[in-house]
Amino acid sequence: MTAHFESVHNAALYPDAFDVAPPTQAFERDVWPRKAGVFIRNAAAESTPMPELGYGQFGLVPPWVKSASDAKLRSTKLINARSETVTTSNNFRDAWLNGQRCIVPVMAFFEDDWRSGKAVPTRIARVDGKPMGVAGLWERWEKEGVEIVSFTLLTVNANSHALLHRYQQNGNEKRMPAILGEGAYAAWLSARPEKAREFMRAYPANLLTANPVEKK
């Protein structure tokens, strides 16, 4: 499970990397569950698909949640959505079928290395240092005057991944974020639900690098 990622805080990177205007609102650099982050979605008001930045919390709040207090509890457990079961999950099905797909801009994500017997936080980024676009889903929850916009990261199996199989606890299925190819961003956002699954692939290991996080 990816519970921590580093957002893209350099505003100048957004137009070139993601074809959107730079952020205008504050958000976290290190994003943990229920912290503020940014994501890219298609603008609903546009007749022609046009990417725009959205702002919300990391950890999806499904539309069926009854109260803000319940949303607070559930969202911390819904930071990742398994791509294999997204169409059958009560938590994520509506967002998937309604085309509420998004791209989460990240500089890196973090996983624990347990090979020493202790959890060693490890930063995983692109070898070339460029931003990554992770496939995600977003949702808007509203009740009794309270609105929560939220998002989750889609994940794929990483048991056979040359790099990611080393991380997370032994005995559990290894997962990794569904990192999109740079040329696939527009297609991912506008794909029909039945075609969107084709984007759920493991990112090539040779394009990623992993480094233990130095303790201060």
Question: What pLDDT was estimated at residue 45?
Answer: 56
Strand partners, 30: 6
| Residue range 11-67, pLDDT digits in tens | 999 999 999 999 999 999 999 999 999 999 998 655 577 899 999 999 999 999 999
Q: Map tokens 């040779």 to a residue.
A: 206
Task: For the beta carbon of residue 24, count every other beta carbon within 10 angstroms.
Answer: 8
Residue ranges per structural domain of the chain: 5-212
Q: How many residues are recorded in the chain?
A: 216
Does residue 44 or residue 129 have the better pLDDT?
Answer: 129
Pairing of strands 80-82, 175-177: unpaired
Instruction: Average the pLDDT over 181-204 and give the result.
Output: 95
Q: Which fold has domain 5-212?
A: hypothetical protein yedk fold (3.90.1680)
Query: Which helix (H) or strand (E) segment is 40 a member of?
Result: strand 36-42
> What average pLDDT does the structure give for the chain?
94
Q: 3-class DSSP state for residue 118?
A: coil
- The whole-number average pLDDT for the span 199-207 is 97
Question: Do 141 and 62 contact (CB within 8 A), yes or no?
Answer: yes
Taking alpha carbons only, the member of 125, 1, 10 closest to residue 58 is: 1
The Cα–Cα gap between 168 and 186 comes to: 31
